[in-house]
Amino acid sequence: MTMMMLRRACLAALLLAMPGLATAADIRVMISGAFFEPFRQVVPQFERATGHRVVTIQGASMGNAPDAIPVRLARGEVAEVMILAAPALDALIASGQAAPGSRVDLVRSLIGMSVRAGARRWDISTEEGFVRALREASSIAYSASASGTYFSQTLLQRMGLEAEIGPKARRILSERVGAVVARGDAELGLQQVSELLPIAGLDFIGVLPPSVQQATIFSAGIGTRAEEPAAARALVAFLAGPEVVEAIRAAGLEPLR
């Protein structure tokens, strides 16, 4: 038996031995974009090991878009697991929509920038280069979630650029920023690195320099109305485990467990 086969066998035995996992369950997962790529890659392994079925529901960590996770929960949708920016999860715990003590930090995420494939590539390795890119780009797309909220409501004001950059910057609802840039509807796109890298038709030009960067922790929590809490806890334990580390790093994220 190879080492990989042994690890998979051990994983299956561990998960199946957890209390409450004797029968297969549907696990509804509301997930924001930053962790979606590694999640998408590893979920089939979890399903094979446990017999559970993961039902994926995508939405932003915050904001008022109809598919944003807090908006979905507020209108009565139910999830076993929520995976989103840690401050947004903390707000759900405070409001009683996620279980107290259920937060498990999964990854640390940085903000990056992309342009359409073949377009001009600005050097944003310094704060001066970052500001130059913002000023010279004809249009800028940013997310409606954590990275975009920071960019539009904190960073531009802090740098004194709100009046200059704000009018040509557009908040993107219910779509990846990279998709907007790839089809030419914006010249420069700003979002979590892991949300930019998978998009075809983009050139990734780098992460924001340290002086303007904001790292975000993305975490998993259990819904207070979860119908399959044991299966939900098994999934969260798997996502925080060693089997997922390679996919996390490949997505441009830093594993925390």
The per-residue pLDDT for 89 is 98
Extract the tokens encoding 156: 């531009």
Looking at the domain that runs over 3-108+217-255, which CATH code has it been given?
Answer: 3.40.190.10
Task: Look at residue 199 in the predicted model and tell me its pLDDT.
Answer: 96
Q: Would the pLDDT of 58 be above 90?
A: yes
Q: What pLDDT is attached to residue 1?
A: 46
Percentage of residues in the chain having pLDDT higher than 70: 91
Confidence band of 14 (pLDDT split at 50, 70, 90)? low
Checking phi first, is residue 216 left (phi over 0); if not, alpha (psi -120 to 50) or beta? beta
Tally Cβ neighbours within 10 Å of residue 197.
Answer: 17
Which residue has tokens 């990279």? 178
| pLDDT value at residue 195 | 96
Total-model pTM: 0.87
Question: Average pLDDT of 148-157?
Answer: 97
**Is the pLDDT score of 77 beyond 90?**
yes
Calculate mean pLDDT across residues 46-60: 96
pLDDT in tens, 232-250: 999 999 999 999 999 999 9
- The average confidence (pLDDT) of the chain is 92
Assign domain 111-207 one CATH number from 3.40.630.10, 3.30.460.10, 3.30.420.40, 3.40.190.10.
Answer: 3.40.190.10
| DSSP-assigned states of every residue in 160-192 | T-HHHHGGGEEEEPSS-HHHHHHTTS-SEEEEE
Q: Report whether pLDDT(70) > 90.
A: yes
Model confidence at 87: pLDDT above 70:
yes
Give the residue extent of every domain in the chain: 3-108+217-255, 111-207
